[in-house]
């Protein structure tokens, strides 16, 4: 098998074909319905974008339509927290797969309030605590960070999603209070949850997400601005944890079939990092029972296979 990235391949045509292929597949899965703001999204939308570190952007379908980034925001929160607190962060959150659904609470009790990794909800709430403690206005800092990465000031939080997340956030609140009881949450729990729900409620398109995360494919340096977003070591660490834990309970299968660090969100987005090459973002709202976009998985699998993108 040829493992090199096939640069000579007609990528624009293939990206378009993949969206058409995905649209023609029988509808499987279910749009997230735990809040009305997500349940009301048109399920048949399909977008795909590929941003390369040498500045190319290929996209097709609904790649410019904004969607709720949800758990994909956990990547950006983690990068901000790593930049602020350094290695001590890893005493408060670990880097192991959980082997449980993203919103599971059981492990937290017997592991003394230390989340398994930053990409399950408990871990992201812990990261939110770090941000609330280390920024005077953590939500503003978060949205500014995304605007900087996307090279666009017109990026906002969906107020409807934000309010609904807060109203339906009992399980996340339970996890936050449990961590607080173990002394692993320092700030006021309500402020921590506000930050967590806020970052989940940011709206971005496939094009914007793929472009924003190219620094993770480029050893921490944003290829468009040459700005250092995080250290080379931290880019490596984020990608490593994405590989084992970014697709929740389907991370093993995703590594097995696709072989890329990736993160999904219940808004139907999936980003996959191709170190040294670029970032893929696929979006379609219908989710499988793990919470990963059915068509997003399909398109990323096909693209990675065709271009030989696996890191393994």
Residue 198 falls in the annotated catalytic set? no
Residue closer to ligand DON, measured from CB, 52 or 71: 71
Closest to 262 measured CA to CA, from 298, 297, 303: 297
Count Cβ atoms below 10 Å from residue 101 Cβ, excluding itself.
Answer: 15
Query: Does residue 121 interact with ligand DON by CB under 6 A?
Result: yes
Query: Does residue 271 interact with ligand DON by CB under 6 A?
Result: no
Query: Does residue 129 interact with ligand DON by CB under 6 A?
Result: no
Near ligand DON by CB under 6 A: residue from 265, 268, 275, 285: 265
Kindly give, in sequence order, each residue whose CB lies less than 8 Å from that of residue 126, ignoring residues fewer than 6 positions away.
Answer: 92, 93, 115, 118, 179, 184, 185
Query: Does residue 266 interact with ligand DON by CB under 6 A?
Result: yes
Q: Nearest distance from residue 161's CB to ligand DON, in Å?
A: 8
- Rounded to whole angstroms, how far apart are CA atoms 54 and 40? 37
Residue 42 falls in the annotated catalytic set? no
* Dihedral Cα 60, 61, 63, 67, nearest 10 deg: -160
Residue 189 falls in the annotated catalytic set? no
Query: Does residue 61 interact with ligand DON by CB under 6 A?
Result: no
Near ligand DON by CB under 6 A: residue from 14, 58, 102, 283: 102
Closest to 146 measured CA to CA, from 219, 66, 59, 91: 66
CB 55 within 8 A of CB 224: yes
- Please, which of residues 235-264 interact with ligand DON by CB under 6 A? 264
Q: Nearest distance from residue 259's CB to ligand DON, in Å?
A: 20
Query: Does residue 163 interact with ligand DON by CB under 6 A?
Result: no
Catalytic residues: 71, 74, 196, 248, 266
């Amino acid at each position: 098998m040829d493992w090199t990235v096939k640069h000579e391949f007609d990528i624009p045509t293939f990206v378009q074909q993949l969206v058409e292929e995905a649209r023609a597949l029988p509808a499987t899965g279910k749009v997230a319905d735990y809040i009305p703001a997500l349940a009301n999204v048109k399920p048949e939308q399909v977008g795909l974008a590929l941003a390369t570190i040498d500045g190319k952007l290929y996209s097709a379908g609904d790649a410019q339509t904004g969607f709720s980034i949800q758990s994909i925001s956990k990547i950006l929160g983690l990068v901000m927290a790593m930049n602020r607190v350094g290695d001590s962060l890893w005493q408060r959150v670990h880097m192991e797969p959980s082997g449980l659904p993203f919103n599971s609470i059981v492990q937290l009790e017997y592991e003394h309030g230390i989340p398994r990794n930053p990409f399950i909800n408990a871990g992201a709430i812990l990261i939110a605590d770090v941000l609330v403690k280390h920024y005077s206005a953590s939500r503003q800092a978060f949205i500014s960070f995304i605007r900087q990465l996307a090279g666009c000031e017109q990026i906002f939080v969906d107020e409807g999603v934000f309010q609904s997340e807060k109203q339906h956030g009992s399980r996340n609140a339970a996890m936050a209070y449990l961590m607080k009881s173990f002394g692993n949450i320092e700030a006021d729990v309500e402020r921590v949850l506000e930050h967590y729900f806020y970052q989940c409620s940011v709206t971005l398109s496939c094009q914007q997400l793929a472009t924003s995360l190219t620094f993770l494919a480029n050893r921490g340096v944003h290829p468009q601005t040459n700005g250092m977003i995080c250290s080379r070591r931290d880019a490596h660490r984020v990608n490593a944890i994405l590989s084992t834990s970014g697709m929740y309970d389907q991370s093993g299968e995703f590594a097995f079939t696709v072989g890329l660090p990736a993160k999904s969100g219940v808004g139907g987005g999936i980003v996959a990092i191709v170190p040294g090459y670029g970032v893929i973002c696929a979006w379609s709202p219908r989710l499988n029972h793990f919470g990963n976009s059915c068509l997003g998985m399909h398109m990323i699998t096909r693209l990675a296979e065709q271009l030989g993108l696996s890191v393994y």
